[in-house]
């Protein structure tokens, strides 16, 4: 089961820095992220959202591309149309990721000059993730983790 974790930081760059550190864990297979979003509220109050493709969308695009390629040889135009439709269907069926309404709600709550990071985590080694988060100062906005893991996360960000 995937878990949603939303964290807020007092600087515009901290959320992106945390994500970069977590990507290193992902590269070593110690963390599996389904989806991520970095929100930044500039000093002018403008909110920028950097949302990466969710795993479901990526799988849908790959599946659609494969269907389109196979059908493209036999029926060129129909292959493209069916490939796109098939990819969208696969992404919808696998659909998870971060709810856009939640991201907008979080963005409104950010103070100017701050940032937030939203993660959908499929699996990870809690001790390693917490060791990365201890290097950053922030606070937990929302999580679907167990109460024990949520408390460890809050403690790691507040140290």
- Extents of the domains making up the chain: 3-53+100-158, 56-94
Q: Over the stretch 2-23, which tens digit does the pLDDT of each residue have?
A: 888 899 999 999 999 999 999 8
More confident of the two residues 135 and 69: 135
Average pLDDT, the chain: 79
Average pLDDT over residues 77-105: 61
Checking phi first, is residue 73 left (phi over 0); if not, alpha (psi -120 to 50) or beta?
alpha
**Dihedral of the alpha carbons of 6, 8, 9, 15, in degrees to the nearest 10:** 30
User: What confidence score (pLDDT) does residue 81 get?
Assistant: 59
For residue 88, the model assigns a pLDDT of 52
Q: Full-prediction pTM beyond 0.85?
A: no
**Residues 35 and 99 sit within 8 Å (Cβ to Cβ):** no
pLDDT, tens digit, 9 for 90 and up, residues 111-142: 999 999 998 888 888 888 888 888 999 999 88
Q: Pick the residue with more confidence: 67 or 38?
A: 38
Each residue's pLDDT tens digit, 31-53: 888 888 999 999 999 999 987 65
Average pLDDT over residues 56-61: 48
Q: What's the CATH code, domain 3-53+100-158?
A: 3.40.1520
């Amino acid at each position: 089961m995937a878990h949603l974790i939303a964290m807020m930081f007092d600087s515009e760059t901290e959320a992106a820095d945390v994500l970069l550190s977590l990507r290193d864990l992902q590269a070593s297979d110690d963390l599996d992220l389904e989806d991520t979003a970095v929100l930044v509220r500039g000093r002018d109050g403008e909110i920028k959202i950097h949302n990466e493709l969710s795993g479901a969308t990526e799988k849908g695009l790959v599946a659609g591309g494969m269907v389109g390629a196979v059908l493209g040889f036999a029926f060129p135009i129909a292959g493209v149309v069916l490939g796109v439709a098939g990819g969208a269907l696969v992404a919808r069926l696998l659909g998870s990721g971060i709810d856009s309404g939640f991201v907008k709600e979080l963005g409104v709550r950010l103070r100017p000059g701050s940032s937030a990071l939203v993660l959908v985590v499929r699996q990870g080694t809690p001790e390693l993730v917490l060791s990365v988060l201890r290097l950053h100062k922030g606070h937990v906005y929302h999580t679907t983790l167990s109460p024990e893991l949520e408390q460890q996360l809050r403690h790691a960000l507040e140290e």
